[in-house]
Amino acid sequence: MPTVGFGVFQIPEEQTQQAVEAALEAGYRSIDTASAYENERAVGRAIAVSGIPREDLFVTTKLWVADYGRDSAKRAFDRSLDRLGLDHLDLYLLHQPFGDYFGAWRALEELHRNGRIRAIGVSNFYPDRLADFLVHHEVVPAVNQIETHVFFQRTEDEKWMREYGVQHESWGPLAEGGQGFFENPVLVEIGRAHGKSVAQVALRWLIQRGIVVIPKSVRPERMAENIDVFDFQLTDDEMARIATLDTGRTHIFDHHDPAAVKWLSGARFNT
């Protein structure tokens, strides 16, 4: 699994093919989508016209809550695979820790055993949900994709994932530009010291923690910038300075908010 992938969350379907084509041209080989993003078909078209051998790509998509349960999960998987135009997935994730995710996981385990998915994992699982999940299953999720950025650093989550051998993957690694992210004085100063942008510093900080990142952009110059993060190293002091930015809470979506949980559990998409 590449350390830096390309995410397509909130990219409209009509813009997704062009964005993914540009990302592949920039050197990305990992593409992250989801049935709930409603742009899997566009991702598939971009892959088809790219000419890049399938074995060189790492494709992730996700199962939505409305399709949880053993039988419905298998049907949803087939729909996603058809939309992507692929014969297998590299990584398939349970998108949210609500509903019958135990039944859905049994379906994913079966698909994994049959070779239709190379790896299976989860998304948005907090430590308590992840611990409960692991206690009741033999197959450990390969990945837990959670909101992680300089303002919500998830160090406690990371500790538990490392203990269980689950790879930490960050969605929203640039904090979706919120909380004055691009003007943050600590990130700006460290960026100047290395001749790098705020985004590159934030991504490098995550990578040095061993976290996989999937930044999103529709601008080719930003795509190129976000993947150009392997020619510099943050010092221990710089890592520690960035660690002081942690607020310990989400700035994007609160999975502990009952109203948010109710919305997620009832959301339906044209998938």
Residue with tokens 């998304």: 123
CB 123 within 8 A of CB 171: yes
Q: Which two tokens stand for residue 41?
A: 């078909």
Q: State the number of CA atoms in the 13 A half-sphere of 22 facing the CB.
A: 18
Rounded to a whole number of angstroms, the distance between the first and last alpha carbons of the chain is 26
Helix (H, G, I), strand (E, B) or coil at 247: coil
58, 147, 197, 228 from 47: Cα distances, Å: 11, 26, 29, 22
CB 215 within 8 A of CB 19: no
Can 37 be counted among the known catalytic residues? yes
In this structure, how many other beta carbons lie within 10 angstroms of the beta carbon of residue 136? Answer: 8
Active-site entry in 28, 37, 92, 101:
37
Cα 22 from chain centroid (whole Å): 19
| Alpha-helical segments (H) within 118-154 | 127-135
CB 227 within 8 A of CB 199: no
The torsion angles phi and psi of 187, rounded to 5 degrees, stand at -70, -40
CB 202 within 8 A of CB 149: yes
**Residue numbers annotated as active site:** 37
